[in-house]
Amino acid sequence: GNSVTQMEGPVTLSEEAFLTINCTYTATGYPSLFWYVQYPGEGLQLLLKATKADDKGSNKGFEATYRKETTSFHLEKGSVQVSDSAVYFCALNRNSGNTPLVFGKGTRLSVIA
Amino acid sequence: DGGITQSPKYLFRKEGQNVTLSCEQNLNHDAMYWYRQDPGQGLRLIYYSQIVNDFQKGDIAEGYSVSREKKESFPLTVTSAQKNPTAFYLCASSGTGRETQYFGPGTRLLVL
């Protein structure tokens, strides 16, 4: 079945450091891939997405590239800020159409000044 | 403003009691979902509905029930059969195609 594996946290970085959060997936077919962010006590917000191989999603300085050959969708940011402290979830569609997402377990990021 | 609302923000359940979590959306989305979030567990699917008057069980449906009588609303009932209901519950919706899911702010359920 479909599954998502992302690096375990917590990840602690200093402000302005480079961020990578690894995400790999197992899926049949060609799922869309997503990164969501969750701030404390809140719901999930879409950060970025990619719908086909070699697509790059980007938003707020974050980027991720859909790599079919390595079944990966790693999240990167060149210079993190304290305000980026949150939990990040990698996810994929189970099937085409309006179908549920499969989520990784989440990676908690703490950025210290 | 368009979006998804969940109420209440906090809910307390006594032993043997059924409680209902509300989820409403005004995005005109066809599909709605309920997920449960436990610390360190990611999100797990409880139920989902792709169209009014129809819904499917997710991975952890036991002890929960839903209804979808209106497009805008997808309430979740946590029954007394759910022995470990303490969690953060998230509702989401999506439009047509392989669309993004949009999430509500969540309801935290606690057992007294």
Over the stretch A35-83, which tens digit does the pLDDT of each residue have?
A: 999 998 899 999 999 998 999 999 999 999 999 999 999 999 999 999 9
Going by C-alpha positions, the residue among B111, B112, B110, B102 that lies closest to residue B35 is B102
In this predicted model, which residue has the larger pLDDT, A72 or A28? A72
- Give the pLDDT confidence score for residue B42 in this predicted structure: 86
Please answer whether residues B110 and B89 qualify as being in contact, where contact means their C-beta atoms are separated by less than 8 angstroms: no
B35 within 8 A of B88, measured Cβ to Cβ = no
Outline where B1-85 has alpha helix (H).
Answer: none
- Tell me the chain A residues in contact with residue B106 when contact means C-beta distances shorter than 8 Å: 41-43
All residues of chain A having their beta carbon less than 8 Å from the beta carbon of residue B100 are 34, 46, 49
How far is A89 from chain B, CA to nearest CA, in Å? 8
Contact A106 B40 (CB under 8 A): yes
Helix%, strand%, coil% for chain A, nearest 5 = 5, 50, 45
Closest partner CB to A105 (pick from B31, B42, B45): B42
Nearest CB partner across the interface for B43, out of A98, A99, A103: A103
Asked if the model's pLDDT at residue A93 lies above 90, the reply is no
Q: What is the pLDDT of residue B1?
A: 61
> Would you tell me how many other CB atoms lie within 10 Å of the CB of residue B15?
8
**CA–CA distances in Å: residue A60 to residues A64, A104, A105, B11, B108:** 12, 21, 23, 34, 29
Give the integer Cα–Cα distance in Å for B12 and A102: 28
Task: Please tell me the predicted confidence (pLDDT) of residue B81.
Answer: 87
Q: In whole angstroms, what is the distance from residue B43 CA to residue B90 CA? A: 9
Exposed/middle/buried for B65, CB within 10 Å: 0-12, 13-18, 19+? middle
Q: What is the pLDDT along chain B (112 residues), one digit of tens a residue?
A: 669 999 999 999 888 899 999 999 999 999 999 999 998 788 999 999 999 999 999 999 999 999 999 999 999 999 988 889 999 999 999 987 657 899 999 999 998 8
- For residue B112, the model assigns a pLDDT of 82
Predicted local distance difference test score (pLDDT) of residue A10: 94
| Mean of all residue pLDDT scores within chain B | 92
Determine the pLDDT at residue B83: 86
CB atoms within 10 A of CB A8: 13
Are A102 and A92 contacting, i.e. CB atoms less than 8 angstroms apart? yes
Question: What integer pLDDT is reported at residue B98 of this predicted model?
Answer: 58
Closest CA to A64 of A108, A4, A20, A18: A20
**What DSSP character marks residue A72?**
B
pLDDT digits (tens, 9 = 90+) for A12-27: 999 999 999 999 999 9
* Bigger pLDDT: A35 vs A28: A35
pLDDT score of A103 more than 80:
yes
